[in-house]
Amino acid sequence: MDHFEGINFSEMWCGIESAPGYLKPVVKVATGGTTGSSLAICGYYNVASGIYKNILVIGWEKLNEGGATTGIITAFDPVWERPSLAGALGPLALMAGMYSAKYGITPEQAAKVTVKNRSNAANNPFAHLQMPNITIDYVMSSQMISYPLRLHDVCPQSEGACAIIYANEEETKKITDNPAWVKSVATSHYYTFGTDDKMYDLPTATMASKKVYKKAGIKDPIRDLDVAEIYEPTSWSELAWTEALGFAEPGQGGKLLDEGITQMSGELPVNPSGGVLSTNPIGATALVRVAEAAIQVMGRGEKRQIPDVETALAMGFGGSLWTELLILGKEKLR
Amino acid sequence: MSRKKGQEKIFEIKWKTDLPYRYSIGKLAVKFFEELKKNKKIYGSKCPKCGKVNFPPRAVCADCFVEMTLSDMVELPPKGTLEGFTVVNYPFVDPQTGGMRPFPYGYALLKLDGADTYTMHFVNETDYTKLKVGQRVEAVFKEEREGNMGDIPYFKVIKEEE
Ligand SMILES: [Zn+2]
């Protein structure tokens, strides 16, 4: 993203010719953490509207070349917020502490998210941090980087890219007999100042999920979804935001995990890919959620495949505390 | 930018540049900074329709989309409550200065007494075991004030008689 690498025309740096976009219309979309899900939704609109038959959507990031924390600070209010803001992790740490204080969620419960996701990542050849033998103790004894967030409660900085082909119904037949169909999409915004939202109850996730569930005919997400790829920049976020998405009542995200519902073998596995806690090339991160949801629907997940996936949810979360959601399915929405 | 072990030394060009911006903070924030500088006072804005008190002051109510004017500004006490806190303990470049932001530092989400919205600011405690959600805090003012947020360098944790 231009903002993080500190360069202009980042699409040129990523190699339009190799994309291959040479002499073809190119649109750049950058919305912070949600970049990947904005790309996914724009890709869907471009094809579903009938403007294009076939398009390639690419998300990428080379965090080694820039400073994400510095870039993120510049996105916030220069007078009231920038002086004390410490990028994304500061507010995510505030959120984790408030969530813990309100509902009694423990660091052990948060550590279990990292253990789940990074051991899932060991089944994903594309994941950055693959830790098949990770333990709760290992997470809980890692360095405190912003209380209550320890090093392993937090996503890494990754380099990477992700690409998805969108095609209309006719073109799809030429590409595959086993596509993933987009059933519904939603974007929700909320705040003026970052402090309008305490983040653990992420109102935009609740707003967006109500919209996508309604459009896709989902009444009970635990029952009607088969897998979810959610955007969890920290272990605590996964617990809190599974609540915001309606998987559990407020304060019950820890219980949801403790009961094994979000584990690989559970009723609604969350992040079989290893999630953001394992891989975080920011401009690609939310597109990876969509790609992984599509991989699950298409049955191409190999060691990370959940059996018989009909319907999958993908989530993007971004700096202005907005949420974007997509529901993909084996069956077309009629 | 970090270089990993074994990587050859890269050719680097370093430079510093000024990037001046003009940013309009609006009438309400102007009054806030004038009162802060001259009188050590903190002002928020109160929605004439729903009564929600905003600190920092803002010009439009986020709930009713009603505009607030200078006459809707209300004085708030310098005391409030810690709603959330952390101790930032990682290095990064501060875009405000171009240099590293000094760390560790206490970072808080707080609510002034009488305000309905939250604000983020520094708190002068770097030992997280000494901070607790719900603690009372008070603004510390600089003696020589310039009319910017640096005039309140931080909030300090206070003990109050119940
Ligand atoms: Zn109002």
A221 located within any domain: yes
How near does any CA of chain A get to the CA of B57, in Å?
Answer: 10
Q: What is the CATH number of the domain that holds A270?
A: 3.40.47.10
The answer, yes or no, to whether residue B3 has pLDDT greater than 60, is no
Q: How many angstroms separate the alpha carbon of residue A138 from the centre of ligand 1?
A: 48
Per-residue model confidence (pLDDT) at position B98: 86
B3 located within any domain: no
Per-residue model confidence (pLDDT) at position A334: 67
In chain B, pLDDT over 70 holds for what percent of residues? 95
Phi, psi of A276 (to 5 degrees): -70, -30
What is the domain range of residue B89? 27-157
Total of domains in chain B:
1
Total of domains in chain A:
1
Lowest mean pLDDT among A61-65, A305-309, B94-98, B152-156: A61-65
User: Residues B56-64: what's their mean pLDDT?
Assistant: 91
Of A81, A146, A149, the CB nearest to B120: A81
Higher-pLDDT residue of B120 and B6 is B120
pLDDT band with cut points at 50, 70 and 90 for residue B44: very high
How near does any CA of chain B get to the CA of A201, in Å?
Answer: 14
Rounded to the nearest 10°, the torsion over CA B147, B150, B156, B161 is 10
Mutate to test the interface with A, among B14, B58, B85, B86 (most CBs of A within 10 A): B86
Burial of A286 (0-12, 13-18, 19+ CB in 10 A): buried
A179 located within any domain: yes
Query: Mutual orientation of helices A89-103 and A235-244 as an angle, nearest 10°?
Result: 60
Give the C-alpha distances (Å, rounded to integers) separating B37 from A255, B30, B43, B46, B73: 50, 11, 12, 21, 16
B64 located within any domain: yes
Per-residue model confidence (pLDDT) at position A75: 86
A202: closest CA among A95, A300, A116, A128?
A95
pLDDT band with cut points at 50, 70 and 90 for residue B111: very high
pLDDT band with cut points at 50, 70 and 90 for residue B11: confident
B162 located within any domain: no
Lowest mean pLDDT among A144-148, A254-258, B48-52, B96-100: B96-100
Per-residue model confidence (pLDDT) at position A65: 80
What pTM was estimated for this model as a whole? 0.93
A334 located within any domain: no
What is the domain range of residue A25? 2-329
Q: Is A195's CB within 8 Å of B58's CB?
A: no
Relative to beta strand A311-317, strand A227-229 is parallel
Give the residue on B whose Cα is nearest the Cα of A93: B86
> Tokens standing for B158?
């206070």
C-alpha angle B139/B145/B148, rounded to 5°? 75
Per-residue model confidence (pLDDT) at position A67: 85
Per-residue model confidence (pLDDT) at position A190: 80
B74 located within any domain: yes
Per-residue model confidence (pLDDT) at position B97: 87
Per-residue model confidence (pLDDT) at position A272: 98
CA A90, CA B108: separation in Å to the nearest integer? 9
Q: Say what the ipTM of the complex is.
A: 0.91
Residues in chain A predicted with pLDDT less than 50, given as ranges, are none
Q: Is B92's CB within 8 Å of A86's CB?
A: yes
CA A328, CA A291: separation in Å to the nearest integer? 10
Q: Which residues of B touch A64 (CB under 8 A)?
A: 1-2
Of A81, A86, A97, the CB nearest to B133: A97
* Average pLDDT value over all residues in chain A: 93
Q: In chain A, which among 237-296 make CB contacts under 8 A with chain B?
A: none
A7 and B CB contact within 8 Å? no
B2 located within any domain: no
pLDDT band with cut points at 50, 70 and 90 for residue B1: very low
